[in-house]
Structure 1
């Protein structure tokens, strides 16, 4: 049945809430079919064009690249639904990230700069009594400040799992030996022995899964290890040996 609703490009733009320039870009990119023109050569849009334009605008606002939107125009209904579901999932993740950013922004606006929680402070105060050096404690403080400032949503979980690890005497011994290896020559046999023991303990506790508190795409391990490696040539070689052996 023929539609009797006829719109000019300006009316269509106002109706959908986009600019005339945007409609012309969508025409040029093949995202919106060109309508028929009247005797005067003006484009005349109908309801179907408005619906196509709303779909295109919605996908574009969700961050879908224009080339992908063009591909979706020829997708089957089932493929289109699946694609929209994936876009929705990605958008939800972006919203969570934006909300986390908003919370950090509001803390900054209120003058509440990132600080180490009390439980972290208590943990750091206890480390010297366990035999850790002042250098190690200072480094740990800086690292936890960095993690809590950059990844506050994951930091508490990672910290508590770290404390649980430290409650195991054998694992705590490895951390102590790591601390005391700071001043060793990078090629000292004790560095190689410590790397082997750390690899054995890691495989025994975690197998091939993710380390505690970290997902496969978490930036925290690299962030922490990069800071540790910069503090000592021996620690840097330890990290290299551990990575090589774990990937072997």
Structure 2
């Protein structure tokens, strides 16, 4: 006959765990001796080993209590548990592979044509800061406006094929480092507004989309640079004067 401490040590659990199993009805309470101590027979060891193995396999205690007591019922239950474990192991391995690919930079969140576009920006003269900003913003656009994202991306990619529009993008990129009072920002804002009206009229693609995300994107850009914040303010004022519908996409206000 074993005490609760001896039983717990023999199976490799704590005495607190044994008491929890008693409280949940998993392990029957044994008779107490004349001194009031619990005394466990060999069958309690077998039952506790069974409970521990099932619990270690991830089977909830409530389900363990419901398992059949006959060998046949237990065998069927264990077979189902084994099937569930196999599925969980596969899912965990798939997750592990994805995490390793993500850590190695082998998983692309963006479509391949967007990744190709970003990869080509250094050759056009764009800074690493601008490219990183574009990547982050396109991720948000594709996540929040999947129905518009391809249209917006194609519009921007096509605009970069125009030398004059590309130069405006590059000027906006390098405006990041300018003092907010630099007169070049006023000139750049005028050029951007003129180019936007010439390209889109007053209704750019995606102008009917929910404005919350574009505003969030623009505020993110503005917070990173006083120069960009000043440029955005100038563009907003001039656009409002002519009734142009403002919209933000990677690369700033769609005016380039």
| Residue 214 (structure 1) shift | 3.1
Of residues 172, 175, 178 in structure 2, which corresponds to 1:184?
178
Tell whether 2:224 aligns with 1:231.
yes
- Per-residue deviation, residues 216-240 of structure 1 (Å, max 9, x unmatched): 6454432332221121111011010
Equivalent position of 1:53 in the other structure: none
Deviation at 1:153, TM superposition (A): 2.0
- The equivalent of 1:164 in structure 2 is 158
Aligned pairs for 1:15-94 (under 5 A) are none
Instruction: State yes or no: 1:134 paired with 2:134.
Output: no
* In structure 2, distance between residues paired with 1:221 and 1:138: 18
Tell me the residue number matched to 2:233. Answer: 240
Larger radius of gyration: 2
Aligned length: 138
Shift of 1:147: 1.2
2:139 corresponds in structure 1 to: 145
Say yes or no: does 1:124 pair with 2:118.
Answer: yes
On the 8 A contact 1:161/1:213 being kept in 2, the answer is no
Name the SS for the 2:208 alignment partner. coil
Quickly say closer, same or farther: Cα 1:147–1:141, change in 2 above 3 A: same
> Given the alignment, which residue of 189, 206, 211 partners 2:200?
206
Could you tell me which runs of 5 or more consecutive residues in structure 1 were left unpaired when the two chains were aligned: 1-109
RMSD (CA atoms)? 2.1
Distance in 2 between the 1:169 and 1:213 partners? 24
* Structure 1 residues 123-149: Cα deviation after superposition (integer angstroms, max 9, x where no partner): 000000000001000100111111112
State the match for 2:86 in structure 1: none
Q: TM-score, normalization: structure 1?
A: 0.52
Per-residue Cα deviation, 1:13-44 (whole angstroms, up to 9, x for no partner): xxxxxxxxxxxxxxxxxxxxxxxxxxxxxxxx
Normalising by structure 2, what TM-score?
A: 0.50
The question of whether the paired residues in 2 share the 8 Å contact of 1:158 and 1:214 is answered with: no
Per-residue deviation, 1:197: 0.6
TM-aligned CA deviation for residue 121 of structure 1: 0.6
The residue that corresponds to 1:194 in the other structure is 188
Post-superposition offset of 1:114: 8.6
Match of 2:148 in 1: 154
Q: Does 1:174 align with 2:176?
A: no
Superposed CA deviations along residues 60-88 of structure 1, whole A, max 9, x for unmatched, are xxxxxxxxxxxxxxxxxxxxxxxxxxxxx
Any stretches of 5+ residues in structure 2 without a counterpart? 1-93, 99-106, 242-256
Q: 1:115 aligns with which of 105, 109, 113?
A: 109
- 2:205 & 2:167 partners in 1: Cα distance? 18
CA shift in 2, pair 1:142/1:216, >3 Å = closer
Q: More relative contact order in 1 or in 2 (CA 8 Å, sep 6+)?
A: 2
1:185–1:228 CA distance, 2 compared to 1 (3 A)? same
CA deviation after TM superposition for structure 1 residue 213, in Å: 3.1
